[in-house]
Homo-oligomer: A and B are copies of this chain.
Amino acid sequence: MQIGMMGLGRMGANMVRRLIKDGHDCVVYDINPDAVAALVAEGATGATSLEDLVARLAKPACLWLMLPAAITGKVAKEVAAEMQPGDIIIDGGNSHYQDAVDLAAELSGRGISFVDVGTSGGVWGLERGYCLMIGGPEAAVRHLDPIFATLAPGADKGAVPSAEHGTAPFGYLHCGPSGAGHFVKMVHNGIEYGMMAAYAEGLNILKAANAGNRPRTTDAETSPLKNPEYYRFDIDLAAVTEVWRHGSVIGSWLLDLTAGVLKNDQTLAGYGGRVSDSGEGRWTLKAAIDTGVPAPVLSSALFDRFTSQGESAFADKLLSAMRFAFGGHVEKKAE
């Protein structure tokens, strides 16, 4: 079927490629004309403006936005201004689900359906398919089924269609009314933060397993290592992550990727350790707080990222200053 795609970054462009490969008719637009040209060369129809894009879509027009969260709301309203009742806007970006709730309510008054699609799969989605978490009105979601079926992985690894859970085994799911897709994706990312941190902390402990072989300062400001004989292991992290991939309880796709990363360079010399967060981890925590649900693991994972961004600096200085104030402890220099 025909679908418009606006926003041809890493995610948007690859989704178009996957759609074209499966025979869909894609009309594409991006503020960067080179991105449009590249996909036209691969079989898409190019548009020269937002208005041109909408005009090229048959009725009901179905337009997928794959944009940074910060501008999605604004663009969606511009798009809607060009549309007619019965048309459908899809937001596949990392928008806040509350914006989706509000926007859907606003557009439904004009007869336009707003469908929010949480999209997971990263740069591997072109090949593996994207996991799609969908919110929106029943009719619009049903109309878009061929698109979702192509983007999703399909019946991989023995999955079978399910009477109970519908399309879930194919990798896409209508989760509920507008906002439900982004809500489920938000929590998905919150879990992702927690899993990533679990691996990172564990591997950091394994890396320290040779602490007993390292020289240790012996002043009053340094806690002694009582039994160095128990910390004399030089663990090969690349081999360990590889072996965990086979038969262990903690096997996962993230572990597969981590093993690949460590095979290339166990020192991770190319990284500085400043870990970004792009919003969904924050929103997950806010939802937990609003609903009174404890989430200590997910919040620890988020706050560690803030700390990696340098945001604990003042708190740490305060702690050193307090220690000096009550105990005369002079702060040690960084090594």
Binary CB contact string for chain A from 199 to 217 against chain B (1 if under 8 A, 0 otherwise): 1111111111101000000
**In the complex, which residues 156-204 of chain A have their Cβ closer than 8 Å to any Cβ of chain B?**
156, 159, 162, 164-173, 175-177, 179-180, 183-184, 187-188, 190-204
Given known A-B contacts A183-B233, A188-B250, A246-B131, A295 and B205 have beta carbons under 8 A apart: yes
Query: Which of A24-32, A38-46, A50-58, A314-322 forms contacts with chain B?
Result: A314-322
Chain B residues closer than 8 Å to A179, beta-carbon distance: 230, 233
Q: How far is the CA of A302 from the CA of B295 in the complex (A)?
A: 10
B165 and A317 contacting across the interface, CB-CB below 8 Å: no
A226 interfacial by beta-carbon distance below 8 Å: yes
Interface residues of A in 224-242 (CB under 8 A from B): 224-227, 229-236, 238-240, 242
Give the most central of A153, A201, A231: most B CB within 10 Å: A201
Q: Shortest CB–CB separation between residue A5 and chain B, in angstroms?
A: 17
On whether the beta carbons of A315 and B200 are closer than 8 Å, the reply is yes
Q: How far is the CA of A179 from the CA of B198 in the complex (A)?
A: 22
Could you mark each residue 295-335 of chain A with 1 if its beta carbon is under 8 Å from any beta carbon of chain B, else 0? 11111111111111111111111111111011111011111
- A133 and B325 in contact, given A156-B246, A295-B201, A316-B200 (Cβ under 8 angstroms): no
If A123-B328, A312-B304, A313-B273 touch, whether A204 touches B318 (CB-CB below 8 Å) is yes
What's the minimum C-beta distance from A163 to chain B, rounded to whole angstroms?
A: 11
A118 to chain B, nearest CB (A): 9
A284 at the interface (CB under 8 A from B): yes
A173 surroundings in chain B (CB, below 8 A): 239-240, 242-243
List chain B residues, Cβ under 8 A from A97. Answer: 230
Contact (A323, B276) CB under 8 Å given A121-B248, A168-B243, A183-B209: yes
Tell me what chain A mostly uses at the interface: helix, strand, loop, or mixed.
helix
**A298 engages B207 (CB within 8 Å):** no
Given the contacts A165-B236, A240-B133, A326 and B285 also touching, CB distance less than 8 Å: no
Residues of B within 8 A of A298 (CB): 198, 201-202
- A291 to B303 CA separation, bound complex (whole angstroms): 11
Contact among B202, B229, B332 for A187, CB-based, below 8 A: B202
Say yes or no: A317-B125 contact (C-beta < 8 A), given A131-B247, A243-B133.
no
A183-B233, A294-B311, A304-B316 known, 15 other contacts, Cβ within 8 Å: A128-B247, A167-B243, A177-B232, A184-B206, A184-B235, A191-B201, A200-B319, A205-B288, A223-B277, A252-B255, A273-B320, A285-B285, A292-B306, A296-B303, A308-B312
Q: Which 4 A-B pairs have the closest CB atoms?
A: A194-B198, A252-B252, A171-B246, A273-B316
Q: List 17 contacting pairs A-B, 8 Å CB cutoff, sorted by A.
A: A120-B247, A169-B245, A169-B246, A170-B246, A179-B233, A180-B235, A201-B294, A258-B318, A268-B321, A272-B333, A273-B316, A273-B319, A275-B331, A276-B320, A276-B323, A294-B304, A294-B307
